[in-house]
Amino acid sequence: MAKVSIDISGGKLKAEDIIVGIDLGTTNSLIAYMEDGAPKTISDFGKGAVVPSVLYLTPEGQWLVGEEAKPYLLMDALNTVYSIKRLIGKSFSEVKELQNFLGYPLKEDLQSNTANLSIQDREFTPIELSALILKELKYRAEHRLKTPISQAVITVPAYFNDEQRNATRAAGALAGLEVLRIVNEPTAAALAYGIGVHNSGTETIAVYDFGGGTFDITLLKIEEGVFEVLSTHGDTFLGGDDIDQKIIEYWLTQNTISMNTIHEHKELGQLLRITAERAKKELDNTASFELAELSPEFPIRVSLTKVELENLAQPLVNRTLQACEHALADAGLQVSAIDKVILVGGATRLPLVKKEVASFFKLEPFDKLNPDEVVALGAAVQADILSGNRKDLLLLDVTPLSLGIETLGGVMDVLIPRNSKIPSRIARQYTTSRDGQVNFKINIFQGERELTQDNRSLGSFELRGIPAMPAGIPKLEIRFLLDADGILKVEASELRSGVHQEISIVPKKGLSDEEVEKQLMDSITYAKQDMEDRKWIELREEAKQLVLHANRFLSQHEGLFEETEMKEMKKLIEDVNQSMEQKVPSELQTKIETLNQFSQPFAEKAMDSAIKNAITGKKI
């Protein structure tokens, strides 16, 4: 139960702040708390614990949330919002293809390139609308628990990038909640099952999370209450909604209806979507589903058998299993190393999913808890850990994509590799490449490719005011601090002078869902080419520096060279320049070595001369 404290002014007992756990879902959302040491979802108003993630804007300009909004999916599709989680933290270009399938219109914010929703000639951001769902959950909890709620743990898909995590945190703040922690949904699910809590041994578990809009697979090692994430993989654009869409496309083909018709008649699109959900559920227990007439307004016949449903869903389920293979490879594990498999998310109710997961892992999965509630329950457990009530559990999560900075030639220098434990802190030293350089630009990237042009820019800033020194003398330290929510802070300092600058990465738009998966696949497909490109760039930068210093040496030490030696030195420098243009690594390497060998004796002469001048007239 919640602790109590004394209100001195009134002399009354009052409930201490309760930290709640929230699952802000694509299809449904829930809120939970701890009662007598066990997580419990909060239900109120006789409507159950689940709050549909649906919003409706009335003609009077008031928002209805949850069950009250659901009827308007058919009655007033243009002003009813659903699947908002698929839009949060993303740009318009990344979600514009959804326009044909959504009942409500999207509009691009040209200034920020975000996708806003145009409802009744007003524009709303996905953050604002997500905040309305969070406000409804907060209100229900306060009404049920009779105490103000101001702090929360909110779960997100493990594969949410930093934009989506920041946007979720912003929605929480807008709803009047201090978001103490952003927790990955699969980790929360493991906490809800209590796996590893009372077991002194070691277990390796897989959490297969197939929700309405996203898919994640997370592998965890649990030992004496320590939950260590070994790897995570997934797709933030793969879920039950996509199975529904496959069913709708199948029905459109059956009735020779084009997608343009769906776009023109929003109510028809919504009716088909709701009917697809109904068909999925009924086919759990029957062999076929059929409606002779979709509705009086739309006299369309729709039918679906269990076999047809499984054929439609199979390619999507196969994609989830491919992600499972990647997660195992990232963790360096075989399937035989997995002790337990947990199913999370509404899409796991599909018998095909359970069958394929059991076959892949060669284990019967855990599915005893309600897949819609398990994440919220786990979030409540994490909230209990943060409140200090649970000291027997510890979460060690990971970051899904590598983080680094751009170095000379556009090379990605990774500071925090993907699947690194978070929170994480790392520092690395760099220096300047030009004499007298007083500013140093730091470009921050996320991704798995060797060159920054193939990765995603997170932001940039400049370290200004570096004292003018020769190239290579300044000591520039770059520090990456990745917090427990997976949000990045970057600091830069020149260690000799103490000049300091920092930035918190709060991006304006998200990474497209296809790009998340594409980055990992491309890192494998183009691994050999990437390494060759990187080696060439590094060799070319070495050549540039050598030419720079060789020309400088010639101008400063002309007296060391005979005329023929001077000509030979200039010829060798020109040979290096030409090899750089021809982009033949082996030839350039040879030219670099030849120039180094030729110039080394002259460098030694210059050094001897400098030492001689330095000690002339001095006793040793």
3-class SS string, 376-432:
HHHHHHHHHHHCCCCCCCEEEEECCCCEEEEECCCEEEEEECCCCEECEEEEEEECC
Question: So what's the pLDDT on residue 507?
Answer: 41
Q: Which pTM was predicted?
A: 0.61
* Right CATH for 17-239+313-398 from 3.30.565.10, 3.40.640.10, 3.30.420.40, 3.40.50.300: 3.30.420.40
**Across the beta sheet with 63-65, what order do the strands follow?**
63-65, 55-57, 80-81
What's the chain's average pLDDT?
Answer: 81
pLDDT-based confidence at residue 266 (cuts at 50, 70, 90): confident
Q: Is the pLDDT of residue 102 over 70?
A: yes
User: Residue 459's beta-bridge partner residues?
Assistant: 444
Rounded-to-integer distance, Cα 300 and Cα 38, Å: 49
Strand 106-109 and strand 80-81: pairing?
A: unpaired
Span 269-283, pLDDT tens digits: 888 888 998 998 888
The single-letter DSSP state of residue 509 is S
Q: Is the pLDDT of residue 618 over 60?
A: no
Question: So what's the pLDDT on residue 509?
Answer: 41
Burial of 183 (0-12, 13-18, 19+ CB in 10 A): buried
Question: So what's the pLDDT on residue 396?
Answer: 59
Residue with the bigger pLDDT between 329 and 603: it is 329
Q: At residue 315, what are phi and psi to the nearest 5 degrees?
A: -60, -35
Question: So what's the pLDDT on residue 487?
Answer: 72
Q: Which of 80-84, 182-186, 596-600 has the highest mean pLDDT?
A: 80-84
Asked if residue 186 has a cis previous peptide bond (ω within 30° of 0), the answer is: no
Q: Which of 136, 209, 330, 485 is catalytic?
A: 209
Span 156-172, pLDDT tens digits: 987 787 788 888 998 99
Q: Which of 23, 242, 373, 494 is catalytic?
A: 23
Give the CA angle between residues 527, 530, 536 to the nearest 5°: 145
Span 301-321, pLDDT tens digits: 889 999 999 999 999 999 999
pLDDT-based confidence at residue 356 (cuts at 50, 70, 90): very high
Q: Is the pLDDT of residue 403 over 90?
A: no
Residue with the bigger pLDDT between 536 and 153: it is 153
List all residues 6 or more positions away from 521 whose beta carbon is below 8 Å from its beta carbon.
none
Which of 134-138, 237-241, 264-268, 364-368 bottoms out in mean pLDDT, i.e. has the lowest?
264-268
Domain covering 528-615, topology: Substrate Binding Domain Of Dnak; Chain:A; Domain 2 (1.20.1270)
Confirm whether 90 is a catalytic residue.
no
Q: Which of 76, 85, 454, 513 is catalytic?
A: 85
Q: Is the pLDDT of residue 1 over 50?
A: no
Confirm whether 209 is a catalytic residue.
yes
Residue with the bigger pLDDT between 422 and 59: it is 59
The tokens describing 121, both together, are 């000639």
Q: Is the pLDDT of residue 200 over 90?
A: no
Q: Is the pLDDT of residue 461 over 50?
A: yes
Question: So what's the pLDDT on residue 5?
Answer: 34
Q: Is the pLDDT of residue 139 over 70?
A: yes
Q: Is the pLDDT of residue 47 over 50?
A: yes
Q: What architecture (CATH level 2) is domain 403-512?
A: Sandwich (2.60)
DSSP line for 161-215: -HHHHHHHHHHHHHTT-EEEEEEEHHHHHHHHHTTTTS--SEEEEEEEEE-SS-E
Yes or no: say if 143 and 133 are a contact pair by the CB < 8 Å rule. Answer: no
Could you tell me the residue ranges of all domains in the chain?
A: 17-239+313-398, 403-512, 528-615
Rounded-to-integer distance, Cα 146 and Cα 143, Å: 5
Q: Which of 185, 235, 241, 373 is catalytic?
A: 185
Question: So what's the pLDDT on residue 508?
Answer: 42
Helix axes 563-582, 585-615, angle to 10 degrees: 140
Confirm whether 483 is a catalytic residue.
no
**Average pLDDT for 552-576:** 82
Which of 8-17, 427-436, 560-569 bottoms out in mean pLDDT, i.e. has the lowest?
8-17
Give the closest residue to 446 by CA, choosing from 456, 436, 437.
Answer: 456
**Average pLDDT for 203-209:** 90
Three-state secondary-structure class, residue 47: coil
Q: Is the pLDDT of residue 397 over 80?
A: no
Question: So what's the pLDDT on residue 46?
Answer: 63
Question: So what's the pLDDT on residue 15?
Answer: 42
The tokens describing 2, both together, are 């919640």
**Average pLDDT for 32-59:** 85
**Average pLDDT for 488-503:** 83
Q: Is the pLDDT of residue 39 over 50?
A: yes
Q: Which of 380-384, 532-536, 542-546 has the highest mean pLDDT?
A: 380-384
Confirm whether 85 is a catalytic residue.
yes
Give the CA angle between residues 254, 260, 261 to the nearest 5°: 60
- Percent of residues, the chain, with pLDDT higher than 70: 86
Question: So what's the pLDDT on residue 568?
Answer: 87
Question: So what's the pLDDT on residue 390?
Answer: 67
Question: So what's the pLDDT on residue 243?
Answer: 93
